[in-house]
Amino acid sequence: MNTIKVTINNTSYDVPANASILEVCKQVGVEILTMCHLKGITDIGACRLCLVEVEGVNKLLPSCTTKVVPNMIIYTETEKLKRYQRITTELFFAERNHMCAVCVANGQCELQELGYKVGLDAIRYPHLFPQCEVDTSHPWYVIDHNRCIMCTRCVRVCNEVEGAHNWDVMGRGHQVRIISDFNTPWGESITCTSCGKCLHACPTGAIWPKAIVQGQLNKNPGMITELVEKRCMKL
Amino acid sequence: MNVSVPLHEVDLPKSDPRVKLLAAKIKKEKYQPDALIEILHTAQNSYGYLPMNVLRYIARELKLPPSRVYSTVTFYHFFSLKSKGDHTCLVCTGTACYVKGAQQILAKIEEHFGLVPGQVSADGKLGIAAARCIGACGLAPAVVVDDEVQSMPQPEKIVSSIQEKLQAV
């Protein structure tokens, strides 16, 4: 494998060429916050949490969709980045109705974890408190749009791993919603195979199985990564 | 209509000229899924909006997931899921038209037809819309009645202009 030299936070590393900055950082043990990234599905750079500074580029680059190039000088822990990560996290919480205390994903939630990591103690932005639906029409699962952060991991997992493409995104701006088929109830979907991969991919408590009570959710997003890796293996 | 009808059971009346036009367009595009937007344009132009059974038909013909079709339709403002009315009147409320009295035109329309922008009359014959700027500031105040751009310096005249179109068909 071709290797190239890059500098991350003033330390030089030999890393594989043709990898994303995020992959490289993971490999050498530099932590980068992510939300819309899930190993195994396409990266889209939507959450803006994995932004890094690269010397010679005057804008912040999403590390998941930026490939490393030889002699790249990358910074992941600058004050500017920390400030932006904090802002992004606050906006996640202000956009919809996130109530951890009554959520099925309490303690199992990537958004909650992110809040702890950036040291969130208050949200400086006015909450939008939008009217969101809770769709309980599916016999086994529920989708609660109040807790959705529009990472579209469910959309990508349904399309790329399951191949059903039951989910997609409707509208634009802050009015975007995850939809099933023609914005019809999930239970009436003609494409959903009820495989349940979307609820494992969901970073928050927006999709969960029925018969689960507050804080009892047991999610395994790594299962999706494992599934994709095993499919790619040469047997 | 039951929403969970399998796509292969969706059929549009073959004798409908609009369906023929749509089918011809889909064939011309060789059933390519990437031609979705062009095909939606054709459908919107012939129906005036995008009825649900037409979306189902397009999804089936192009072998696209229904959610993909719906997300495309809702992303672009040009596409509409609701009927805009058989005849439409678009009043420009951009700066130049506003100054020249777009509000009086809208007031006249509301007084006479009882419709405000975004509404369609109960019989579906007339739809009223407002836009920010249609780029015809030289004609201010400008209105678009059935795709025909008109200058409307006297607000009273809008009523006769619309009625003319309503009586034409």
Question: What pLDDT, in 10s, does the model give residues A45-59?
Answer: 999 999 999 999 999
Q: Residue A67 carries which DSSP code? A: B
Amino acid A234: pLDDT: 65
When pLDDT is averaged across residues A99-126 and rounded to a whole number, the result is: 93
Does residue A11 have a pLDDT over 60?
yes
pTM given for the model = 0.84
Strand ranges, E, within chain A? 3-8, 11-16, 51-54, 61-62, 73-75, 134-135, 141-144, 167-170, 177-180, 207-209
Amino acid B138: pLDDT: 92
Contact check, Cβ <8 Å, A182/B75: no
Does residue A2 have a pLDDT over 70?
yes
User: How many Cβ atoms are within 10 Å of A16's Cβ, its own excluded?
Assistant: 13
Strands A177-180 and A134-135 turn out to be unpaired
Instruction: Collect the ranges in chain B with pLDDT lower than 50.
Output: 1-2
Amino acid B150: pLDDT: 92
Q: Residue B129 carries which DSSP code? A: E
Amino acid B156: pLDDT: 87
When pLDDT is averaged across residues A155-169 and rounded to a whole number, the result is: 96
Burial class of A26 by CB neighbour count within 10 A (0 to 12, 13 to 18, 19+): middle
Does residue A213 have a pLDDT over 90?
no
Amino acid A65: pLDDT: 95
Q: Residue A233 carries which DSSP code? A: S
Q: Which of B7, B56, B67 sits opposite A166 (nearest CB)?
A: B67
- Residues of chain A neighbouring B52 (CB-CB closer than 8 A): 182
Does residue A93 have a pLDDT over 90?
yes
Amino acid B169: pLDDT: 67
Contact check, Cβ <8 Å, B70/A170: yes
Q: Is the dihedral of CA B114, B120, B123, B124 positive or negative?
A: positive
Choice between A1 and A71, residue whose per-residue pLDDT is larger: A71
Question: What pLDDT, in 10s, does the model give residues B74-123?
Answer: 999 889 898 888 898 999 999 999 999 999 999 999 999 999 998 899 88
Best mutation target among B36, B58, B63, B67 (most A Cβ atoms within 10 Å) is B67
